[in-house]
Structure 1
Amino acid sequence: MSVLGIFSRRPKKTAEAARERLQILLAHERAGLSGADFLPQLQRELIEVIRKYVSVDEDRVQVKLEREQHLSVLEVNIELPAPSERRN
């Protein structure tokens, strides 16, 4: 191998280029998804995890996603039971 061979750009294989394009496309599609697409599942999973430690009513859990230009905010509000009602 020559020294110049190390610094020269080798052309990408077709499969590599296609894979990169697909990853970019998927990233753009995921960024454009509305919050409603994954929020119900996220809320269910959060409730499952919280119930391992504390008894919680599903109606007392709120998950909200707000998107602005360059910022997304995921807000999770969980109303916990009184200390006397918590699991030990």
Structure 2
Amino acid sequence: MTKITETSLAAAMTAISGAELEAAGAGDPLDLTFEEMGFDSLARQELMGRVERTHGIRFPADLVFSDTSTPRELLAAADEQEDATA
């Protein structure tokens, strides 16, 4: 398992739907909900697949597919997983 960082998560998000991230406008995109960024369920599934392949981290479905979850919450969940396996 490799550590996931804000930069690597943001890069994966941009690769999937960079237009939505740019259109989101003000604020830190990691604090916006996936819904606010325009990530539909397919984009979220693709993001989770990239994170799992790259970092070996699996997220609970309720976190990934909740309309109120944010990328920052995913980072916190990843940190918890990494701490548990360390």
Sort the TM-score into its range (normalised by shorter chain): under 0.3
Could you tell me the TM-score, scaled by structure 1's length? Answer: 0.25
Higher strand share: 1
Q: Which is greater in Rg?
A: 1
From the two aligned structures, give the one with the greater helix fraction: 2
Provide the TM-score with structure 2 as the length reference: 0.26
Answer 1 or 2: higher relative contact order, Cα 8 Å, separation at least 6: 2
